[in-house]
Amino acid sequence: MKTHHPSRHPATKKNPLTFSTLAIALAITSVYTIPSIAAEQNLASSTDGVQYFERSKSGIRKISKDLYVAFPPAGKVTPQREPNIDQQLLLQGKYPLGYVLEAGQNQFNLPFLPDTGHGEGAKGPRSKQRAVWNSRGGTVEDPAAWPFLRVNGIDSQSCYECHNTIGEYTPADAKTVAKVRKPGTQGGPAGAANTAFINDQFPEDLNQLLGTDPTTKAVLTKFARNPPHVFGTGYTQRLATEMSTELQAQAKAVELVAKANLNKKQTQALTTKGISFGTYSVTCKTTTTCSVDASGVVGVQQDLVIRPFQWGGIASSVRHFARDALDFHFSVQAVEKVGHKDCDLDGLVDEITVGNVSALTAYVTMFRPPYQEIPKGKEASVKAGEKLMTTIGCTSCHQSSLTIDNATLSIQTPPAVPDNAPCPTEVAQLSNSLETYSDSAKEASDRVERAFAQEPKVDAAVKAKGKNAPEKLYALVKPALHAPELVPANANYLIDLNLTGVAKNAVPAYVWPRLPAQGRAVVVPLFSDLKLHYMGKQLSDNYAQPTDNADYAAQPGVFVTRVLWGIGDTDPYMHDGRARTLTDAIKLHGVEGSEAKPVADKFAKLSAAQQQNILDFLGSLKLPIAEGVTAPEYAQQ
């Protein structure tokens, strides 16, 4: 096959420019490598397929004189890692939980290499971006083929690379204050160096690079994100699902009452787990023409789905996030995302199966929760700090605990991707259309439908004309909302978060200890209301960020109240890691326009000793060292 090599001319040679424009072009070029964009567009639009490369007999493609990249022959089915989990057998209960978790750990900790799906082909979704990023004087085709980008993913090889520290300490016998890492690190956050950069448009457009707003110009990245720890995420997901379920049931109650009482506006206060999310109103002209007034909804997207994961409140479940993290960080494209297609053009299909994403999700959600460790001598200060958090209002957002009603975590089976479904249109696209909605959001709406369908007194309550009719209708269905069994049985993989009756050695040590259970209920000390808050322009991104539902985006400057369990071990702080100390993190709450400003101002007015009380309290919220690992002796607490 004849290969076509588009020639690369520096823009300045192609288009003679006047002196002044040339100077500007050069100034820009030296920073942003603009000429390669034009060259790369030729590359991407040429029609000769992916055959830029000589392929050795072993399937290794030679991409320049010295560089080789292993791309397997096209269409090869990716070898799955062992232990390999089959989704059908998983749903039939054929694997012991310990085995599933071990399989998930294998997905999380082992690096993904090219032969196990890592990377994308020369013409993959990020080829233009890679051409710019990796062009360091090579030929036109090298940079696009080189499977690394750093900005906008393909930035690492394993989940563990970024979720790998549970804090540092100075050993008791150390001669200096230099720190070493604590043992048992998996599931932790990472240092500032592992910040993820997200910019799906890099380097498409000059406005993107320079910004349209002169005060915020020059954005190499749209979103810089500090890796959080993933301990206790099963509890967090379950809380969020229950909250979404309750909010959506309240909305449905209003709608049903409005349909039965035409031309009368019905309003319901949205409240779940004691937290207010504003109001929701519906007026119906006929039973099929209703208008919803969601302008009173606060702290949650108007689809009433609580999305506790990612700083901006993007993902409603760990599964959805893990699926997209695999794609974003490694270009490992899950079957549940792209079907049996090779959307990243690396020659491999089925890069990770549904069963193996289930295992990965089980592993991540079942990490033990963070805990509190109060250093000797600091008991009084920690106690005073905890009290002050409430007195000055930190806990108005960082709510000390939320209670799960039914501690059954459902790892939802995703809908199959039809063979004719197009590949995602955006690079490492995170959103799903409504038709492919799944996970926590789907579980919530399924539960709401079922609870209303099963309650015999719904019809009578709907027709009631009383002032609080929606509220009464909601109270009627509420007891059924979190009932354990979700029909049809075995459709999803269920895990008892309490691990009731599970022998200690039947599952890996990293799941123990669990939070104390009270029947099916569990109090989760996460220090968050899982609500969205505006934190001021200074903490804002320049762009809205799409959530896991294509119709809803997280607005700039709006973040979920960050959980504080584990905060004593997770520096740096805030969504982009800009705060190195807890004091700085708190100070940043006080920027102009932030909802937290009044509280941050109160913190600033506390005495130095009182501020230290709060810092001591926060410092006592620790990430757990793996069981069986000896706790280090600290030189300084």
Residue 515 near residue 397, CB atoms below 8 Å: no
318 binds ligand HEC per the rule CB under 6 A: yes
Residue 278 half-sphere exposure, CB side, CA atoms within 13 Å? 15
Residue 126 near residue 329, CB atoms below 8 Å: no
**Which residues from 373-402 bind ligand HEC, rule CB under 6 A?**
392-394, 396-398
Q: Which residue stretch of 221-229, 404-412, 417-425, 472-480 sits at the interface with ligand HEC (rule: CB under 6 A)?
A: 221-229
Task: Convert residues 222-251 into a mask of x (bound to ligand HEC by CB under 6 A) and - (unbound).
Answer: ---xxxx-x--x------------------
The residue from 78, 127, 245, 310 that contacts ligand HEC (CB under 6 A) is 310
411 binds ligand HEC per the rule CB under 6 A: no
Task: Convert residues 541-580 into a mask of x (bound to ligand HEC by CB under 6 A) and - (unbound).
Answer: ------------------x-xx----x--x--xxx-----
428 binds ligand HEC per the rule CB under 6 A: no
The CA distances from residue 138 to 41, 44, 52, 188, in Å, are 17, 17, 14, 38
Q: Give the separation between CA 309 and CA 524, rounded to whole angstroms.
A: 16
**Which residues from 181-220 bind ligand HEC, rule CB under 6 A?**
194, 196
Q: Give the separation between CA 89 and CA 581, rounded to whole angstroms.
A: 47
Q: Give the separation between CA 289 and CA 296, rounded to whole angstroms.
A: 20
584 binds ligand HEC per the rule CB under 6 A: no
Q: Residues with Cβ < 8 Å from 578, sequence gap 6 or more?
A: 572, 584, 588
Q: Give the separation between CA 358 and CA 341, rounded to whole angstroms.
A: 20
- Looking at the Cβ atoms of 268 and 432, the one nearer to ligand HEC is 432
Structure tokens at 43: 């590359």
535 binds ligand HEC per the rule CB under 6 A: yes
357 binds ligand HEC per the rule CB under 6 A: no
Q: Residues with Cβ < 8 Å from 592, sequence gap 6 or more?
A: 536, 537, 538
Q: Which residue stretch of 78-86, 250-258, 320-328, 485-493 sits at the interface with ligand HEC (rule: CB under 6 A)?
A: 320-328
Q: Give the separation between CA 436 and CA 605, rounded to whole angstroms.
A: 50
- At residue 319, what is the residue type? R
Structure tokens at 401: 């605990």
Least distance to ligand HEC, CB of residue 452, Å: 31
624 binds ligand HEC per the rule CB under 6 A: no
155 binds ligand HEC per the rule CB under 6 A: yes
User: 574-581: long-range contacts at Cβ-Cβ below 8 A with a sequence spacing of 24 or more?
Assistant: 574/226, 574/539, 575/224, 575/225, 575/226, 575/311, 575/312, 575/539, 576/195, 576/223, 576/224, 576/225, 576/226, 577/192, 577/195, 577/224, 577/226
- Looking at the Cβ atoms of 42 and 540, the one nearer to ligand HEC is 540
The residue from 132, 596, 623, 625 that contacts ligand HEC (CB under 6 A) is 596
- Judged on CB neighbours under 10 Å (0-12, 13-18, 19+), 300 is buried
Task: Convert residues 37-76 into a mask of x (bound to ligand HEC by CB under 6 A) and - (unbound).
Answer: ----------------------------------------
Rounded-to-10 torsion of CA 358, 432, 339, 94: 20
Structure tokens at 84: 């390999």
CA angle 525, 103, 193 (to 5 degrees): 60
585 binds ligand HEC per the rule CB under 6 A: yes
**Which residues from 161-180 bind ligand HEC, rule CB under 6 A?**
161-163
Sign of the CA dihedral with 572 first, then 576, 579, and 580 last? positive
Q: Which residue stretch of 13-21, 246-254, 488-496, 592-600 sits at the interface with ligand HEC (rule: CB under 6 A)?
A: 592-600
277 binds ligand HEC per the rule CB under 6 A: no
525 binds ligand HEC per the rule CB under 6 A: no
Least distance to ligand HEC, CB of residue 545, Å: 7
Q: Give the separation between CA 281 and CA 292, rounded to whole angstroms.
A: 6
Least distance to ligand HEC, CB of residue 170, Å: 22
Residues that bind ligand HEC (CB under 6 A): 108, 155-156, 159, 161-163, 194, 196, 225-228, 230, 233, 309-311, 314, 318, 321-322, 325-326, 329, 360, 364, 392-394, 396-398, 533, 535, 539, 559, 561-562, 567, 570, 573-575, 582, 585-586, 589, 595-596, 599-600, 603, 614, 618
